[in-house]
Structure 1
Amino acid sequence: MEPAQSAVAWDVPAEVNVHDYVLRSATARGDHLAVADLSRGDRREWTYTQLRAAVAGLATWLRLNGITDDDVVAVLTENSAEFVVAYHGILAAGGVVLALEPRDTGEHWRGKIDAGGAKALIAETALRPPEVEMPVVCVGAVTPGGAAWEEAVTIEPRLTHPPGGDRTAVLMSSSGTEGVPKLVPVTHRNLTSNLGQIDYLHRVRGDDVVLSVPPLRHIYGMQMAMNPALRAGATLVIGATPFSAEDFLRDVTENEVSLSYLVPSVITELGKAGRRLPSLRMIVSGGAPLPTTDGARCAETLGVPVVQGFGMTEAGCVSFSPDGVEVPPGSVGRLVPGTEVKFLGGEDGTEAGELCLRGPQIASAAADADGWLRTGDLVARDADGFLRITGRAKSLIKYKGHQVSPAELEEVLTSHPAVSEAHVTGLPDPVAGEIPKAFVVLSEGIALAEITAYVAERVPPYKRVRAIERVGAIPRSSTGKRTRPPALRVLVTGGGSGLGRAFALALGASGANVLVAGRDEDALAKTVLDIRQTGGTATPVTFDVTDQASVTRGVARATEEYGGLDVLVNNAGIAGPKGPLWAVDEGEWRRTVEVNLFGSTNVIRAVLPALTGRVVNVVSRAGRVGWPNAGAYAASKAALISLTASLAGEFGETGRVAVAFDPGLVDIGITKAHLDRGRTGVSWEDEILAWTLKTREAGRFTSVEDAAGALVAVVTGAADHLNGRYVSVEDVAPLPSSRLVRQ
């Protein structure tokens, strides 16, 4: 396909250094406020004169301490004014910036320092940076062999003006299109060209007060917020990390912010908890896709435009919503000028294809021999040149040969009034290859089946959500990208045999981390082995539910291994004696209640300190209607149903849920024991057998697959809206398989 090019007039920088290009007007701005740093809970200010002096002082200190042209200097700081000074000071010294992730470990920091060949380190000592054999500037307490930040930035400057052009300016961390972390060399020309391209579509004004939330070490914070604000002579306000809607409302009000760069999670919050702010003129979203409904809701709530663009480490800002132009919903704007584009697999972009780019902002190390960068993103373009991202080429879900876009399903899911956030990913399936699984955060109690039905009405059959899990939050990366929530940690009692084993196997197949508990070590080992052989994660936990000390020890070991527990499935139980109350052995009657009721309470008491989510007590219809000649079993299950209701009330507003789950009559476990025993000549046992056979013949049995599938659905939140209540398989329909939802 012939590439198309955005060829319009824009500022094309020459061989200038990024530092000079951005701060060349700083002298003229003088006492105008350059940076207001709110990151530490207080307010610290730098005028343009003070910022320029600090940058020049640090550059001089680096040169005096052996840093020459093209030497790499690592920076390990939080979002702060110190980062701004370090970034421009290194560039002014002729060096290369290697920004480290503050949330990483010392091992990762050292690996990046070694990989980048760093010759010096600027670090906040509170982050406990690794010991290195190189010059170190300490922000905070001075470590042995380190120099104080105040000393470095106040040294008498000896100004130099190193060139820019194709020299490397920044080594940036990127997972690239293949998902493999690497350092990408980004040149001065890449950055200055991109700043000129951005300025053509979106301009920061000198009288703007710019609030930045994304990390300044990432391309979004660096090239959309920090450098454009300083280049315009505006005031850059650096917010705290982490950042909430409440922080935004306060900071905008107190600082009269006019323009803000945010991540989607904050914009989603603002749509619910925001208000009109007189100083604000625009909000920019970046770092991750913004659901259309969330952006529209925030714009309506705040009364200002909420726009977005598209970018990546290897290409800077690729497209943006032009100032003052109405942009189609869901669009990421138009290509920045001077960019050639082609769509692999798409017809001139009118149908989604993989976006390929060529231009002065593209890092050559990421491009092919002809300068083309394959982004890995599926993009469509309308007749007016507006781009819309439909997904990632490598994240597409392959369902029975069809390609399903997670991003498209997330848009549909978040358009439901009850869905606050959603993340969709592929779940391996032996029949379909993969099925779409949705993780959803709900703002109100609603059946998950209603959510899947809502999606089914709006997409073709092959795009339906076929597995769904309710979670408290969708994790996000530091750039705001949604990531898959961690696997549920589920403890199943009585998991070595019968229905408990079926439950454990289904949970393992669904992707949960399963703790299989019981008394029989050999049976537990077999269940665990079967889960592991099918690719699941499982651990045996040996204890007797009637022995509180044994339960406490077992639960402690289990939760220590998994770091906590999300769900308890109380399944352990016995059938009890057969016959009328006055005829059965009193000890057997008491033993049944002890196992079925007190055993469950023992486990609940042990797990509650570590439990984050749900208690699922496995009960029976016999607990609601009674079961003549099986009174001990019926009474214990009735008590467990009542206990569940009480427990839900005691949980209150903690976010934890308790449900009494009835899997129905299943030809396994206790029910199977009745059938296998056959007629014994004992009237009570034969009456129960006759009733069981009649019920099976009437088609009122539940298959093992359906019972296990419904249990997994309950474990993943399908019955959260029925907190405290008795839940049957039908209550969480349509969930007819052991892999959550398969329609």
Structure 2
Amino acid sequence: MSTLWPRYSAPEDLTEIESVPLSDRGLPDSTYALLKRAADLWPHRRAITILPEAARWRKPRSWTFAELLGEVRRYANLLREQGFGRNDAIALMSNDRAVMIPAILAAQLVGIAMPINPDLAPEHVNELLARAGAREPDLSASPESSKYDGELPQGTDLAAYFHTGGTTGAPKLAAHTHANEVANAWMLAANELLDEDSVLFAALPLFHVNALIVTLLTPLFKGQHVVWAGPLGYREPALYGEFWRIVEHFRITTMSAVPTVYGVLAQCPVNADISSLRFAMVGAAPLPPAVRNSFEAHTGVPLVEGYGLTEATCATARGFPDALRPGSVGQRLPYQQVKVQADGVLAISGPTVFAGYVKSPGELVEPGEWLDTGDLASVDDDGFIRLSGRAKDLIVRGGHNIDPAVIEDALLGHSAVTGASAVGRPDPHAGEVPVAYVTVAGDVTPEELREWAEQRVPERAAAPKEVVVVPALPLTAIGKPYKVELRVDATRRELEGLDVEVSAEGGGVVVLVGADAVADVKPVLDRYAIAWRIKEEARS
């Protein structure tokens, strides 16, 4: 048995894997060392294929592993010429895969890569740059030399700053070490589901850890070919009309996406031979049973769930297509320890827990031994994790905690419901009452859905007071549910008729009142446990 590659094809292999210390596995010291290993082992094998926009996917750009290494070294030389060094944060903002893929790896070789969502508001970008002391390099030209003789990073060196999925105020910056990223990539590569001939499809944005860890670094371990979508990735509508033909042409083995992508693909006629697609990976948001059922029935391809967060590098659990555990997001990955704390919240410990949040240039707020995920969960004896919602999303009705997942699950059981999200609406008597927002595909009324949920939730207190049908549920830029926007809407509905404005601030909801309306509005607002303040009037 290889020290690097243990037997790992079933859940019961986990104990045997962990009988060998991770330090004895012989992992590369850095992401650059991982790339260099791949180029040495498979110099002429195709590593990366980048598609242009969907209409021209048959005219891609490709690199072998040796060519990818050369591109990374050229960008690294460019960064060094511009004065970047080991402790410098290098901000990268682009949707061009041909630039971002080698630039991220080069930035980790030279300093600290800091990929940023180009769609973030400018004030948020500026705050992130200031917090990290980062600057953006000029990547418009690259030195021709593919030789690199600079200082090489070590496992304890910082590799990247990734901003979290925050949407109100500037997101947090999570710092990863090279050891974090290499270990997490190895944990995913160590399974026997994919061999060297497997081909992966990637389309998530490179400012998201899933794109870096799951579809860039992990394939380097076994020399696997990755086909990358164009600049817009899954956000390009035309991609879906061509998707199954792309799978057939490149013989795609697996893919990674969020639930909304599979919901769309379940509606796209299968107009090609997709027999190469063994399974599809899904994460970042809860997978509605209706989406799983429709996609698997439509394609015959099993969906394999995973679970993770930026603060634990990327992935903490993943499922097995031949050993599915309904309701589970997968078994914990090797060498990661998980436990449920007294408050019901999942905590993680091990080699993938991040180095800390960036407080200021060169200063980190380090995590404790156990990382609090904020996710309510249970863990069985085999290490399989079942999530039951976000702790901060709990609806508190008269001092009684209600998990919104029980409401959402009840509504998703209706054949017409395609998506559901429950939140708390301010109430003068109970503090909060549950309300739900849904998307539907069929002829059903909100009142019918409210009655449906009332009959199926596990407790009377969880019955939604109102069900609102919306065209789409709000998501973050990386596909995660965005409940703050729904809380704003619920508060606005409750306060309808009052001369106030409702907005999201700092992850919460605040009511803004004009100075001349305070006397009339304050007695009403004081009946609610909600934050409010006087609105600053625009100056002429």
TM over 0.5: yes
Residue 262 of structure 1: aligned partner: 257
Measure how far apart 1:332 and its partner are: 0.7
Of 197, 203, 206, the match for 1:213: 203
Distance 2:279 2:336 in 1: 26
Distance 1:365 1:235 in 2: 32
Residue 311 of structure 1: aligned partner: 308
CA deviation profile, 1:149-187 (whole Å, cap 9, x unmatched): xx34x3342344613211110011126899972212111
Residue 182 of structure 2: aligned partner: 192
Distance 1:399 1:354 in 2: 20
Measure how far apart 1:230 and its partner are: 3.0
Contact 1:487 1:512 in 2 (8 A): no
Of 210, 224, 227, the match for 1:237: 227
Residue 80 of structure 1: aligned partner: 97
Distance 2:350 2:499 in 1: 45
Residue 272 of structure 1: aligned partner: 267
Measure how far apart 1:464 and its partner are: 1.2
Distance 2:419 2:98 in 1: 32
Measure how far apart 1:393 and its partner are: 0.9
Is 1:174 aligned to residue 190 of structure 2? no
Measure how far apart 1:387 and its partner are: 0.8
Residue 339 of structure 2: aligned partner: 342
Structure possessing the higher radius of gyration over alpha carbons = 1
* Structure 2 residue matching 1:457: 3-state secondary structure: helix
Which has more helix, going by share of residues? 1
One-letter identity of the residue aligned with 2:353:
I
Contact 1:190 1:360 in 2 (8 A): yes
Measure how far apart 1:426 and its partner are: 1.3
**Which 5+ residue runs of structure 2 have no aligned equivalent?**
1-13, 358-364, 504-514, 527-537
Distance 2:423 2:500 in 1: 12
Residue 472 of structure 1: aligned partner: 471
Distance 2:502 2:89 in 1: 43
* Structure 1 residue matching 2:356: 3-state secondary structure: helix
One-letter identity of the residue aligned with 1:360:
P
Residue 286 of structure 2: aligned partner: 289
Structure 1 segment 96-111 matched on structure 2, within 5 A: 96-111=112-127
Distance 1:216 1:28 in 2: 26
Say if 1:195 and 1:11 are closer, same or farther in 2 by CA, change over 3 A. Answer: farther
CA deviation profile, 1:78-134 (whole Å, cap 9, x unmatched): 161311100111222x31101111102333323222221125x24xxxxxxxxxxxx
Say if 1:323 and 1:200 are closer, same or farther in 2 by CA, change over 3 A. Answer: farther
With the length of structure 1 as denominator, give the TM-score of the two structures. Answer: 0.59
Of 107, 116, 141, the match for 2:132: 116
Structure with the bigger RCO (C-alpha within 8 Å, sep 6+) is 2
* Structure 2 residue matching 1:85: 3-state secondary structure: helix
Residue 381 of structure 1: aligned partner: 379
Structure 1 segment 266-665 matched on structure 2, within 5 A: 266-273=261-268, 275=270, 277-345=274-342, 353-365=344-356, 370-459=368-457, 460-484=459-483, 507-508=496-497, 534=524
With the length of structure 2 as denominator, give the TM-score of the two structures. Answer: 0.80
Of 29, 38, 46, the match for 2:51: 38
Seq. identity, %: 27
RMSD over aligned CA atoms reads 3.5
Distance 1:380 1:49 in 2: 45
One-letter identity of the residue aligned with 2:297:
E
CA deviation profile, 1:435-475 (whole Å, cap 9, x unmatched): 12211111112111111122122212111121221111112
Residue 65 of structure 1: aligned partner: 82
* Structure 2 residue matching 1:289: 3-state secondary structure: coil
Contact 2:38 2:65 in 1 (8 A): no
Measure how far apart 1:535 and its partner are: 5.6
Say if 1:535 and 1:37 are closer, same or farther in 2 by CA, change over 3 A. Answer: farther
* Structure 1 residue matching 2:329: 3-state secondary structure: coil
Distance 1:371 1:115 in 2: 25
One-letter identity of the residue aligned with 1:114:
A
CA deviation profile, 1:632-656 (whole Å, cap 9, x unmatched): xxxxxxxxxxxxxxxxxxxxxxxxx
Contact 1:11 1:196 in 2 (8 A): no
**Which 5+ residue runs of structure 1 have no aligned equivalent?**
123-135, 139-147, 347-352, 491-502, 515-524, 537-560, 562-743
* Structure 2 residue matching 1:455: 3-state secondary structure: helix
Say if 1:23 and 1:398 are closer, same or farther in 2 by CA, change over 3 A. Answer: farther
Say if 1:462 and 1:390 are closer, same or farther in 2 by CA, change over 3 A. Answer: same
Measure how far apart 1:481 and its partner are: 0.8
Query: Greater CA deviation, 270-279 or 357-366?
Result: 270-279
Say if 1:278 and 1:56 are closer, same or farther in 2 by CA, change over 3 A. Answer: same
CA deviation profile, 1:34-57 (whole Å, cap 9, x unmatched): 222225444322222221111111
Distance 1:254 1:530 in 2: 67
